Structure 1
Amino acid sequence: MCSLAFARSLGFALIPLATCCIVANVLLFFPDGKINFIQDEHVTTYVWYFMGIGGGGLVVSIRFVLLSKAYLCSCVCVCVCVCACVRGSAYCFLISAVALFKGPYCFTQMGWRYPFEDDGGRYLFAREKWSECIQPAHIVEWNVTLLSILLGLSTLEFLLCFLQLVSGLVNAVCRPCYDECCFIYL
């Protein structure tokens, strides 16, 4: 059955990563641990792309559930599920990187804006600039920490899924595969 056993064991490694991605994305909605910033629409727009919830979280989790419930699974089915996981983790990585590069949405002396938008990401290495953000308190540290966590987790997810994809393709070429479709028992 190709690499179904390997896919299942890899899935167990992906569940904690996916859960952490979801938690990190949810925390980005509540800068300084307060709900009023989301109510007043004063959060970074990239948070609404749900990179950790959708890309790094649910897509990876659904892939694991589908493969763990599979009774019969062809090489094609394993590769399709893993490709979805690779795309989800890549989406999480790209959106997190763009959000980190753009910087946080915060209140400055000039009002609510992205003060580091045209900075080219140099603000990340110039902590003295971080004080430009007056509200929410410590928003730069909050965003940098959580977005860096999302970058790291999505990179690990991508590598694990890519490893599974390579394994599935090698098994498809080197071993005879079954032509069955995936029968999923949900």
Structure 2
Amino acid sequence: MCTGKCSRCVAVSLYPLALVSIICNIVLFFPGGETKYAQDGHITEEVKYMGGLVGGGLLVLLPALYIHMTGQGGCCANRCGMFLSIAFAAVGVAGALYSFIVAILGLHNGPLCRALVIWSTPFKNRDDSYLNNRNLWSLCTEPPNVVEFNVGLFSTLLVTSGVQLVLCAVQMVNGLFGCLCGSCTNKGPL
């Protein structure tokens, strides 16, 4: 496969992944579909880090746009453009890695919820994981179904950022080949 076509394929794959990351992070601000928890400051700490919005969203979307332009014929489809795509893909790797780490922390620490009478993170610093024991999930009484909500969305962010990480790494290698060997363009007969 030509390095330009590979760049276009990577970029087109990154667009929906960045959109999913952004949507997941925004939805995490509204557990149970309610705005009152965000207004009262009862949001899980890892949601406030905005790993999906900033990391897996903007820091992947901007490189995807440049990588897509690199794959097109014209001024960017040259050795210099492919070299710059390595730097942009590295930014994408950093963003995806940030989103990945925040998602892992969100899954590990669990949600902020009302446990009995106080708002806390009841699953944080436990010896056993709440992910393996659904009976522990009943500790959270408010917002309703917040554990399932957080696990679902942080898991989606984890998978999405993992795929983004792989795609951006592939583009770094592709950009290196394009920089060293040149990008192939369809040249007509002389």
TM norm. shorter chain > 0.5: yes
Q: Structure 1 stretches (4+) deviating beyond 6 angstroms?
A: none
Q: 1:4 Cα deviation (Å)?
A: 3.9
Corresponding residue number in structure 2 for 1:139: 146
- Please provide the CA RMSD for this pair: 1.8
What amino acid does structure 2 have at the position aligned with 1:130? W
The unaligned stretches of length 5 or more in structure 1 are 178-186
1:118/1:35 CA distance change after superposition, 3 Å: same
Corresponding residue number in structure 2 for 1:105: 112
User: Which segment is superposed worse, 50-59 or 67-76?
Assistant: 67-76
> For 1:18 and 1:121, how far apart are their aligned partners in 2?
33
Corresponding residue number in structure 2 for 1:20: 20
SS of 1:134's equivalent?
A: strand
1:76/1:57 CA distance change after superposition, 3 Å: same
Q: How does 1:29-178 map to 2 (within 5 A)?
A: 29-69=29-69, 71-72=75-76, 73=78, 74=80, 75-120=82-127, 122-173=129-180, 175=181
Contact kept, 8 Å, 1:55 with 1:91, in 2: the verdict is yes
> For 1:94 and 1:6, how far apart are their aligned partners in 2?
27
Contact kept, 8 Å, 1:101 with 1:121, in 2: the verdict is no
Contact kept, 8 Å, 2:7 with 2:174, in 1: the verdict is no
User: Which segment is superposed worse, 9-18 or 138-147?
Assistant: 9-18
What amino acid does structure 2 have at the position aligned with 1:30? F
Compute the TM-score of the two structures, normalised by the length of structure 1: 0.87
Q: 1:99 Cα deviation (Å)?
A: 1.2
Q: 1:176 Cα deviation (Å)?
A: 5.5
Deviations 1:78-108 (A, max 9, x none): 1001100111111100011011101100001
> For 1:120 and 1:62, how far apart are their aligned partners in 2?
40
Compute the TM-score of the two structures, normalised by the length of structure 2: 0.86
Contact kept, 8 Å, 1:42 with 1:105, in 2: the verdict is yes
Contact kept, 8 Å, 2:111 with 2:121, in 1: the verdict is yes
Q: 1:46 Cα deviation (Å)?
A: 1.1
| Percent of aligned pairs with the same amino acid | 33
Contact kept, 8 Å, 1:97 with 1:147, in 2: the verdict is yes
1:9/1:127 CA distance change after superposition, 3 Å: same
Contact kept, 8 Å, 1:26 with 1:53, in 2: the verdict is yes
